[in-house]
Chains A and B, each alone.
Chain A
Amino acid sequence: MPTLPDHTPIAAAALGQGRGPQAAKAEILWPTPARVLSTDVLRVDAREKVTGEAKYASDVQPPGWLYAMILRSRWAAAKVTAIDTSEALKVPGVKSIVLAGGEQRRVRYYGTELAAVAATSKQACLDALRAIKVTAEPLPFVVDERDAMKEDAPRVFDGPNLSAPGVKQEGDVANALSSAAAVVEGELSTQVQIHHPLESHGNTIVVKDDGATVWASTQGIFSVRDGIAGNLKLPQSNVQVICDYMGGGFGAKFGPGVEGGLAARLSKETGLPVKLMLTRLEEGLAVGNRPSSIQKIKMGASADGKLTAFEAETVGTPGTGGGGETAGGSGGANVATPYIYKVPNFKVQQRAVATNAGASRAFRAPAHPQGSFGTECMLDDLAVKLGIDPVEIRILNDPGENRRKEYALGRDKFGWKEKYKKPGSSPGPIKTGVGCAGATWGGGGRGTRAEAQINSDGTVEVRVGTQDLGTGSRTLVAMVAAEAFGIRPDQVVARIGDTRFPPSGASGGSTTTASLCPGVWDACQNALAELKTRSGMADVAGPNWAVACRKIGINPISAQGEWKQGLSSSGSGGVQFVEVEVDTDTGYIRVKKVLALMDCGLIVNTLTTTSQINSGIIMGMSYALHEERVMDKATGVVLNHSFDTYKITNLADTPEIECILLNMPERGVIGIAEVSNVPTASAIANAVANAIGVRVPSLPITPAKVLAALGKVPKMSA
């Protein structure tokens, strides 16, 4: 996805789903004005979450359950020749040990699964892991992407580490650069970011002869079901996956994973339930990350600020991901550049470089934060060079009408004109600065089925085979049903997180809300029609509800429905404004304020939408200032896997956040989880540059990099 000239239709097409707003306008099916939708509704499962009653995959305790752990390679590259489990099997409490990939195999990163043990306690597992003897021939390896690009670097796979470049171009970029009124160029880089959902990857699994039950921490219950069924050679119909609650995924939790397959085999071997949740170290090593990027960019504009030329060469590492056995990365490290901007003359060359590190996975708006950072930073530098206000240059160049309006609105609300000063010009050692950036994402809906049941006592049950990643899916199901039936959300029992319910897709690409709300609405409309028929009443809502339901008879009304076009669309745009303080003596950055403006389509729940935007901003800030995976070149291990050394934003760091939501009910439901995350880091980077008067071209923007940019300490080698 190298270019996204106009955010709405293009982003939708890029994701292969959804439709633009124009198409959605053809038929408006959501009620206007809405009664329940677009209001603040408290989470229907909030009580369970504040009392500890909410049971996650890691919490369930089926009778006789065994603890399980994984033995992982301590070589970044090696030929494993033997795995001896005989001593480990003698450890008291150990019930079974299974190998992950045969006894003799090639490993390509520190953390590759070798074996798994199930035992009656965690302590027995730990003892058993220590007692497994692995014999291996260590091989040369490389974990640093710059090292991996060198001619003589050890090869991660059989082919070269560096992939052939993917090239996209239009117009004549060389000519456009030479005739531009101003040109800026730079090398910008972004780090490898680890997903780190607080609940680690894992499952609790019970395998019996004729089927299996899986409590999964997952973004896709059906993909886990199919994966486990395939692994155990069981009919899919006999595998039930349950995910009542899950502790975060951010793109790294699709499918059962290697750990799910191992847990299933251990359960099958022992005939007992097995709980296998990864440790924090394993989260750092093996279950996903956002690829790094190094972006060499040249950007040119006319004297009035109109972009005329854009040239970029990018490379990043997806670790061992996206490469297969014969070549380096296959585009898994591409960045979305020149991101939201339409530049008439551009040339973008992108490559990936394989390293001996855990494979990247989808991570909240894959490719976008990296692309945004490179493009938006250069655009600000260009604005400074031309003497144009950064908001002005965006309004001039951004092809998205929604974002242009957001910039204009946000500029006033934020007090941009008063706050924006010449870079580095604020007095004293603590300098203030402001920055802004924009973003896009698809976030459309797709086929979800739902089932609505109305009982004669007026209670309602809605069943959808989706999962709640923390976005409030269960609450949204209740709200949509309440809207349809003219009742309160607390009169609806929303049942989700079970593959025995009508199927819904995996939760990725900000598609969950836009998928399930239309499906639920349609099911409820069908149930409502049936209720009207059975009760003989034309109006069954509100005060008539109980009377109508009493006429249902013995069999409850049950109706299915499905996602329908027109009830959702895709293509969301957002912009953010940031104010920072930078201490030029210490390099410490304090983010004071973030203002987010977001076009949201039909806002379903204003309260949980706000939470989601806060979420995006805080994770973006964490990416901007704190997070970075550090690899040890000597051993290939991730040095900073846990939160004492892998810093993430905490409450003490959290800035004041203000959200302005643009409600566009005529477009239907659109997901905003990813678009809200993208621009924050770029806006912070621009605010820092505005504060100190020099660009820090590398994420995370640490105090050391700030001081280096100011010339107060030597620059670190890359």
Chain B
Amino acid sequence: MSPDSSSQPPASSGTGFNRRSFLRGLGTTVVAAASAQVNAVAQEVGKAAGPGVQGPGAVPVTLKINGKPVKLTLEPRVTLLEALRNSTANTGAKEVCDRATCGACTVLLDGKPIYACSALAIDCEGSEIITVEGLAKDGKLTPVQQAFVECDAMMCGFCTPGFVLSVTALLKEKPRPTEAEVRHACAGNLCRCGTYPHVLKAALKAGGVKVAENTTTVINYADIA
């Protein structure tokens, strides 16, 4: 997922304000003293949202996850990632940094890759949410998933769902991406094991781009002079 505007959730149809305008509305209060911050935030939320403000108690939320509506009761401060992982069985999106830097929580929101840790669940009402669990149909892997398998584009696997979704979104936009486009599209996903060369290979392979099959040579030690 590229760290550009497409990683931001679109404006919500339900609550009348989005994260960006919320942050803009906060203005200087984000640097206010911690003790005053909670009240200040509440006031700013009130101003930004008008009379329709929800919470702080739990409210009913219906999320459309992998094509199925799921009825949940969530506090408005619950993120999409928390809703998925703690209130549904969709644990494919992982919590790693919880601050929009690592991409492990990537999901598709109306087809766009977003960091689920940085979207509020209530803002995602009315949107199509696709998690890694929603990609394979009838047990058949998508070409991206298949390429990840074939290229060994994973080690511990914790970042893998995020990468699979970032590459899936890229290929929708650019079915035959260049290497530079894959690097850019995946720059917002981090892997601690260091599987990047194989992720790159898998993305290009899934896009039908010819890649060198093997960069590894095996030499029998006994044959070396």
Contact = CB atoms under 8 A, between A and B. Distances in A.
Given A409-B219, A603-B218, 9 more contacts: A52-B93, A54-B157, A247-B158, A610-B216, A611-B198, A615-B193, A644-B99, A644-B100, A660-B217
Given A608-B152, A615-B195, A642-B101, A198 B96 contact: yes
Contacts of A662: 219-221, 224
Given A59-B91, A123-B77, A658-B215, A51 B133 contact: yes
A405 B224 contact: yes
A121 B75 CA distance: 10
A652 B199 CA distance: 11
A42 B195 CA distance: 14
A-B pairs with the 6 shortest C-beta distances?
A52-B92, A618-B194, A470-B156, A247-B158, A470-B155, A49-B157
A642 B164 contact: no
A579 B48 CA distance: 53
Interface of B: 75, 77-78, 82, 85-86, 89-102, 104, 131-133, 135-136, 141, 145, 148-150, 152, 154-161, 164, 182-184, 186-187, 189-200, 215-222, 224
Contacts of A121: 75, 86
B183 A280 contact: no
- Most chain B CB neighbours (cut-off 10 Å) among A47, A198, A618: A198
Contact of A61 (B91, B199, B220): B91
Nearest to B90: A52
Interface in A59-105: 59, 61, 67
Given A50-B132, A59-B91, A650-B196, A659 B156 contact: no
Nearest to A275: B86
B73 to A, nearest CB: 11
B98 A279 contact: yes
A496 B155 CA distance: 16
A679 to B, nearest CB: 15
Given A122-B86, A642-B97, A664 B194 contact: no
A229 B98 CA distance: 32
A453 interface: no
Contacts of A616: 194
A141 interface: no
Interface string A631-652: 0000000000011100011111
Contacts of A58: 91, 94-95
A363 interface: no
A599 B220 CA distance: 10
Contact of B216 (A599, A606, A664): A606
A52 to B, nearest CB: 2
A469 B154 CA distance: 11
A441 interface: no
Interface in A21-50: 38, 42-43, 45-50
Interface residues of A, number: 78
A43 B154 contact: yes
A54 B104 CA distance: 14
A538 to B, nearest CB: 31
Contacts of B158: 56, 197-199, 247-248
B188 to A, nearest CB: 8
A611 B86 contact: no
A469 B104 CA distance: 17
B224 A55 contact: no
A280 B97 contact: yes
A181 interface: no
A611 B218 contact: no
Contacts of A658: 215-217
B39 to A, nearest CB: 14
A530 to B, nearest CB: 34
A246 B141 CA distance: 23
Given A47-B141, A58-B95, A661-B216, A198 B102 contact: yes
Nearest to A45: B157
Contact of A663 (B92, B183, B218): B218
A619 B75 CA distance: 39
16 contacts: A42-B150, A47-B141, A50-B154, A56-B158, A61-B91, A122-B86, A123-B75, A196-B192, A197-B156, A470-B155, A611-B195, A652-B183, A654-B183, A659-B217, A661-B219, A663-B219
Given A61-B91, A642-B101, A658-B216, A469 B156 contact: yes
A246 B156 contact: yes
A58 B104 CA distance: 13
A644 B215 contact: no
A29 to B, nearest CB: 18
Nearest to A615: B194
Contacts of A656: 215
A51 B145 contact: yes
A250 interface: yes
A535 interface: no
Interface in A700-715: none
